[in-house]
Amino acid sequence: MRKKKVHGLPVLVLCCILIAALTQSASAELLAGVQLGYGQARYSQILGEKGTSSTEWSSSLWARYPYEDVLISALYQGSLGLQGFSSSRHLAHAGVSYLFLEEDMLKVYGGIGYNLVSAKLPVTGDEHNTFTGHGFTGQVVMDIEITDELWTSATVIANPWAKWSHTLPGLTKHVDASGSAFAYKLELNYDFSEEFSAHLSLLGNTFSVPKYEDTGQTKGSSVSINLGVTREF
């Protein structure tokens, strides 16, 4: 039951933000998109032992809603390991940022959010361990409107004091010490019609689960290139 809650939470958060945004003024631009991605994950340590790396397929949902000087954003990405490495990862984030700098084509937002990171990794044989971290984040979003049809954006999300849990088959342990979770996203969006646009992004994240009890540290990172379609509501 615990795993189903973790997997369902990001979609629930995204749906709530979309519903709330749709009830607001129609003059604002709600953007929502879907993407498919391909990338690589690296685990430098797994429970204190030497880790490994693998390639991944991923799918993602995202939305952003600027309302006056406030930007509401949400992101979910799910990834599956390839090349015989039966891993899975989940990244979810929702945040609210305030516009504190606007100059010509540039807009810079800063704010807070909440994120969840989950990695399910094979440890010995068919046994999997799941590491789940969550907590409040700081975030910075920088938008550049190049033309009326083309804009780019960069987002940095930081959670240096994430709370982690470690799930073994039939047992979940909560890690006493705080770890970390960071993410970044670089985007390029091109409008090819009044409602739809092509969306290219680079999404990366890192996490660190600290030592606890008799287990060693776990560290991982990933990066993926994603391509999809955006719709404006």
Question: Whose CA is closest to 3, among 82, 96, 116?
Answer: 116
Per-residue model confidence (pLDDT) at position 231: 94
Whether 210 and 164 have beta carbons less than 8 Å apart is answered as yes
pTM for the model stands at 0.86
Give dist(CA 203, CA 222) in Å, integer. 8
**Which residue is it, tokens 């705080």?**
178
CATH number of the domain to which 115 belongs: 2.40.128.90
- Answer whether 36's CB lies under 8 Å from 228's CB: yes
| pLDDT value of position 213 | 86
Q: What is the pLDDT of residue 6?
A: 42
Amino acid at 217: Q
Tokens matching residue 183: 């993410």
Structure-token match 């940095």, residue found: 156
Q: CA-to-CA distance for 122 and 45, rounded, in angstroms?
A: 13
pLDDT at 118: 95
Q: What domain range is 162 assigned to?
A: 2-232
Residue stretches of the chain with pLDDT short of 50: 1-8, 19, 21-27
Q: Give the pair of three-digit tokens for residue 41.
A: 């994950």
- Amino acid 7: pLDDT: 44
pLDDT of residue 2: 39
Quote the pLDDT of residue 15: 53
Quick one: pLDDT at residue 73? 96
**Alpha carbon 120 to chain centroid distance?**
16
What is the C-alpha end-to-end distance of the chain, expressed in Å?
35
Number of domains comprising the chain: 1
pLDDT for position 1: 37
Residue 2's alpha-carbon distances to 8, 23, 93, 169, 198, in angstroms, are 10, 32, 19, 12, 36
Phi first, then psi: give them for residue 4, nearest 5 degrees.
-65, -35
Q: Are 121 and 138 in contact (CB under 8 A)?
A: no
pLDDT in tens, 9-58: 555 555 555 545 444 444 458 999 999 999 999 999 999 988 888 999 99
pLDDT at residue 111, rounded to an integer: 97
Nearest to 117 by CA among 172, 45, 182: 182
